[in-house]
Structure 1
């Protein structure tokens, strides 16, 4: 059975594809999650996260942009942007423990993003959380 961390990683992949202009990815979410063996409660969790980010993407992007120093959202890599969007959604709209959300985002950044990403994501999400 898949873990929440695996479900989040799958959502990052979906958000990454969406961010690169594949807005039609939403119609393939079920198939993609099934291919990754994300099922049952974890599938419900992943769908809730993906759909929530897409539904609130403007609010999420505004929140992230508020905490960027001199850079714009477009200056952040697509993977990092996807991780930030997911974690910001969870912080703002889910009733999950905030330190766990931030830690999961940092772990995702360590696995999926550049060397400086974990520190950057940690700092920005700390600001979002306050």
Structure 2
């Protein structure tokens, strides 16, 4: 059975594809999650996260932009942006402790993103969680 971390990792992949202009991926989310063996409760969890981020994308992006010290959203790499969007969505809409959400985002960025990403994520998500 897949873990929540694996479900989040799959959602990040879906958000990455979506960010790169593949909006049609929305039609295949079920199949993609099934291929990654994300099933049952974790599939429902992943679908809620993906759909929630996509539906609230402009609010999430505004929140990220409001906490950037320099640069723009376009300056953030697509993988990092996908992790941030997921974490900001969870901070704003999920009922998990913010520290858990931030830690999960940092761990995923260590695994999936550039070397400087964990520190960047921590700083930005800390600001979002306190806003």
Shorter-chain TM-score bucket reads over 0.9
Which residue is 1:54 aligned to?
A: 54
Give per-residue Cα distances to partners, 1:19-64, cap 9 Å, x unaligned: 0000000000000000000000000000000000000000000000
CA RMSD of aligned residues (A): 0.4
Which residue is 2:64 aligned to?
A: 64
> Secondary structure at 1:100's aligned position in 2?
helix
Structure 2 CA distance for aligned equivalents of residues 26 and 122 of structure 1: 29
Pairing 1:80–2:80 present? yes
| TM-score of the superposed pair, with normalisation by structure 1 | 0.99
Which residue is 1:91 aligned to?
A: 91
Structure 1 unaligned residues grouped into runs of 5+: none
Q: Quote the offset at 1:70 in angstroms.
A: 1.5
Give per-residue Cα distances to partners, 1:68-101, cap 9 Å, x unaligned: 0121000000000000000000000111111110
Structure 2 CA distance for aligned equivalents of residues 70 and 48 of structure 1: 31
Q: How many residues were matched structurally? A: 130
Which runs of structure 2 are paired with 1:1-130 in the superposition (5 Å)?
1-130=1-130
Q: Quote the offset at 1:111 in angstroms.
A: 0.4
Structure 2 unaligned residues grouped into runs of 5+: none
Structure 2 CA distance for aligned equivalents of residues 70 and 102 of structure 1: 21
> Secondary structure at 1:7's aligned position in 2?
helix
Structure 1 stretches of at least 4 aligned residues deviating more than 2 Å after TM superposition:
none
Structure 1 CA distance for aligned equivalents of residues 11 and 112 of structure 2: 13
Structure 2 CA distance for aligned equivalents of residues 122 and 42 of structure 1: 25
Structure 2 CA distance for aligned equivalents of residues 97 and 26 of structure 1: 28
